[in-house]
Chain A
Amino acid sequence: MSILVIAEHTNSELAPATLNTVAAAQAIGGDIHVLVAGQNVSATAEAAAKIAGVAKVLVADNAAFAHQLPENVAPLVAELGKAYSHVLAAATSNGKNILPRVAAQLDVDQISEIVAVESPDTFKRPIYAGNAIATVQSSAAVKVITVRATGFDAVAAEGGSAAIENVSAGGDAGKSAFVGEELAKSDRPELTAAKIVVSGGRGMQNGDNFKHLYTLADKLGAAVGASRAAVDAGFVPNDMQVGQTGKIVAPQLYIAVGISGAIQHLAGMKDSKVIVAINKDEEAPIFQVADYGLVADLFEAVPELEKLV
């Protein structure tokens, strides 16, 4: 068996989710190759070659891949993927965008967001917002799979010495063009990779009040997330949303502040090791999953917490 892992990166940097995806590949077993498709990605390819357990790195360096447009990247992955038993990508917005297009081009079903590998053809994945776990078996010639990073412990970023090989396939399909992007700038850790996450909900009342959470997060070295209610209300941008349709996190410590705990939010954080809930409504469903619950006014509790940690 041989497995092609699609690297998640920003052209200049390899994203941590790649390490979790390689871990899933290791659980399947076989030769692991990593594809780095992008523009000016030589440093990223070198970083990928150092990942523990990677046998080969394929590099497709082309302006057409600079912004990961699926119309351009999917044909490349489908062409390369034919030679593999498995094609894996992280279940990031990018992986979710590209991989189903690859699967359809290969005429195979895709298995989305696996959280466990039972055997090389059998996997576990959450359905119904994580209220059920399905065990699914694939008979496809090429198994196309996205990997939920929180299900697999990252492999070591150093220790490997894979060969790097250039591939010349692919180019601009001429169907789409990148126009622009607005990326949030933050010195805090990335939400899905942070050891501690502090999240706010509707109880924060407005965007300005999130400053209390930022102060606490900075003291803890934490990332800041939000519930859908807080994002929909315009308190904070969409990339902070934790939940079924937002980001899935599983940090060592998750502090939910002013979050009631809708099932869609719980789907995004209930695998956290320790959950703390601060809410003034003692009936809030969030307390049913919290290891430590504090019924209190968040505007008093959060500043006090910030002083004591």
Chain B
Amino acid sequence: MKVLVAVKRVVDYNVKVRVKPDNSGVDLANVKMSMNPFCEIAVEEAVRLKEKGVASEIVVVSIGPTQAQEQLRTALALGADRAILVESADELNSLAVAKLLKAVVDKEQPQLVILGKQAIDSDNNQTGQMLAALTGYAQGTFASKVEVSGDKVNVTREIDGGLQTVALNLPAIVTTDLRLNEPRYASLPNIMKAKKKPLETLTPDALGVSTASTVKTLKVEAPAARGAGIKVKSVAELVEKLKTEAKVI
């Protein structure tokens, strides 16, 4: 079966971002960009499904600027077969991204779509669920285990109280949580091979999708700073402070 994986180009996990002085957003100039960590897990899961003989083809798609080709090439080096970039220089909201992905799903007809559960920049946690609504497919969000059998996929989900397992009819949408797998690193030969794999570029216009949004960002501020407190010398002093100064125990 065909598996579609969506990936997003985001600020690298290790970068501590700073708010711009004019409060228009965060400063991303000269900041290292990477594939969203949850998307790496999504690519890895698709590659493992292919290694098990469950998946026959892996198509990776990204919605983003021209430079998102870098993240698509990374996914190709990790084992995806071909890539699609839906090029948009604008910062798009989750609903617009889900609509673009729906158009790609209509075109590609995958049996399984795997996405990260959230992007570490906008922290929205919406796109997979929205894509499921638009396609009418079942959704297995926050997955820590994915097992395809016949025309169903069993997804074990990380929920607040522990774990929940659901059986979904295929085609279905899965979003990844941290414990699903540990992504591999791309080998040098595979990085070289990835350069020759097909990468198609589309536009929202060509897909006939409007990316208009009902939400606008008015300003972006730094959070209230939390200053460092004091170092105590002993457990006894700590307990004393908690009882008499902070009055929390």
Q: Which residues of A contact B (CB under 8 A)?
A: 67, 69-71, 74, 92-94, 96-105, 107-113, 122, 126-140, 174-184, 192, 196, 220, 228, 231-232, 237-239, 244-245, 247, 252-253, 263-264, 270, 273-276, 282, 287-296, 301, 304-305, 308-309
Whole-angstrom distance between the Cβ of B111 and the nearest chain A Cβ: 14
CB of A122 within 8 A of CB of B118, answer: no
Are the C-beta atoms of A292 and B242 separated by less than 8 Å? yes
Report B121 CB to chain A, min CB distance, Å. 6
| Interface class of chain B by DSSP | mixed
Interchain CB contact under 8 A, B228 and A126: no
CB distance from A242 to the nearest CB of B (A): 12
Q: Are A181 and B162 in contact (CB under 8 A)?
A: yes
**Which one of B48-56, B57-65, B123-131 contacts A?**
B123-131
Q: Which residue of A lies closest to B213 (CB)?
A: A109
Q: Are B169 and A175 in contact (CB under 8 A)?
A: yes
Q: Are B163 and A134 in contact (CB under 8 A)?
A: no
Task: Pick the interface stretch among B70-78, B82-90, B152-160.
Answer: B152-160
Shortest CB distance A230–B (Å): 12
How many angstroms from the CA of A96 to the CA of B230 in the assembled complex? 38
- List of B residues within 8 angstroms of A105 by Cβ: 133
Q: What 1/0 mask marks residues of chain B from 76 to 112 whose CB sits below 8 Å from any chain A CB?
A: 0000000000000000011100100000000000000
- In the assembly, what is the distance between CA of A293 and CA of B219, in Å? 34
Whether B214 sits at the interface, judged by CB under 8 Å, is yes
Rounded to whole angstroms, the CA-CA distance of A307 and B98 in the bound complex is 54
A133 touches B123 (CB 8 A): no
Contact A238 B179 (CB under 8 A): yes
A-B contact pairs, 9 of them (CB 8 A): A93-B157, A105-B133, A127-B220, A134-B220, A140-B214, A245-B117, A252-B248, A290-B229, A308-B235
B230 and A181 contact, CB distance less than 8 A: no
CA distance A132 to B122 in the complex (A): 10
Docked pose: A287 CA to B139 CA in angstroms: 41
In the complex, B165 has a CB within 8 A of chain A:
yes
Q: Are A136 and B17 in contact (CB under 8 A)?
A: no
A294 close to B17 (CB less than 8 A): no
User: Which residue of A96, A108, A247 is within 8 Å of B141 (Cβ)?
Assistant: A96
* Contacts A274-B246, A308-B235 known; 8 new A-B pairs at CB < 8 A: A67-B166, A100-B126, A134-B220, A137-B218, A176-B139, A245-B118, A275-B229, A292-B232
Q: What residues of chain B lie closer than 8 Å to A99, measured between beta carbons?
A: 129
**B191-241 CB contacts (< 8 Å) to partner A:** 213-223, 226, 228-232, 234-236, 238-239, 241
Which residue of B has the minimal Cβ distance to A222?
Answer: B249
Q: Is the CB of A131 within 8 A of B17?
A: yes
B218 to A136, Cβ gap below 8 A?
A: yes
Closest 10 CB pairs of A and B: A291-B229, A104-B133, A100-B129, A104-B130, A100-B126, A140-B214, A175-B138, A179-B165, A253-B248, A176-B138
> What A residues does B229 contact at CB under 8 A?
275, 290-293
Instruction: Tell me, in angstroms, the Cα distance from A105 to B230 when the chains sit together.
Output: 51
Residue from B117, B127, B138, B249 within 8 A of A71 (CB atoms): B138
Residues of the B chain whose Cβ atoms lie less than 8 Å from the Cβ of A289:
226, 228
CB of B42 to closest CB in A, whole Å: 14
Within the assembled complex, what's the spacing in Å between the Cα atoms of A130 and B162?
A: 25
| Interchain CA distance A111-B216 in the complex, whole Å | 10
Give Cα distance in the complex from A289 to B217, angstroms.
28
* Residues in A neighbouring B213, C-beta threshold 8 A: 109
Which residues of B lie under 8 Å from residue A181 when comparing CB positions? Answer: 159, 161-165
Compute how far the CA of A138 lies from the CA of B160 in the bound complex, rounded to whole angstroms.
29
- Kindly state whether residue B167 has any CB partner on chain A within 8 Å: yes
Are A101 and B132 closer than 8 Å at their CB atoms? yes
Closest chain A residue, CB of each to CB of B137: A175
**Once the chains bind, are B162 and A184 in contact (CB under 8 Å)?**
yes
Contact between chains at B163 and A182 (CB < 8 Å) = yes
Given contacts A103-B130, A132-B19, contact A220 B249 (CB under 8 A): yes
Shortest B216–chain A CB gap in Å is 6
Q: How far is it, in angstroms, between the C-alpha of A131 and the C-alpha of B220 when the chains are bound?
A: 10
**A296–B235 touching, CB < 8 Å:** yes
